[in-house]
Amino acid sequence: MPYNIRIVSTYPPRRCGIGPFSRDLATACSHFTSEVGHIRVAAIDNGSGPYDIPVDLVIDQYNPESWREAITHISTRAGVQPHEVLSVPS
């Protein structure tokens, strides 16, 4: 069964070192077609958008409500409760 991957990070066109790394990670994971299902990115935004696929969710970095909505969206889509979502800080 393929794994679905969710990356929560800055992402191009935002200029910072982590954004390009996250883009490269998403691209590299997409080459493992038998192991990886969907790759989705929740971009942490400071007004740098717009974003292209695989970004399907934009989080306003300065808005706590935006972070809460993102957690709800991600956990609902994954079919788990918010406290069950695995997060790995970058």
Tell me if 90 is assigned to some domain: no
Supply the pLDDT for residue 86: 54
Tell me if 17 is assigned to some domain: yes
Residue 9's domain comprises: 3-84
pLDDT surpasses 80 at 3: yes
What is the spatial distance between Cα 65 and Cα 30, in angstroms, rounded to a whole number? 31
Question: How many structural domains compose the chain?
Answer: 1
Supply the pLDDT for residue 66: 96
Tell me if 8 is assigned to some domain: yes
Q: What pTM does this model have?
A: 0.81
pLDDT digits (tens, 9 = 90+) for 31-78: 998 888 889 999 999 988 899 999 999 999 999 999 999 999 988 888
More confident residue, 59 or 15: 59
pLDDT surpasses 90 at 83: no
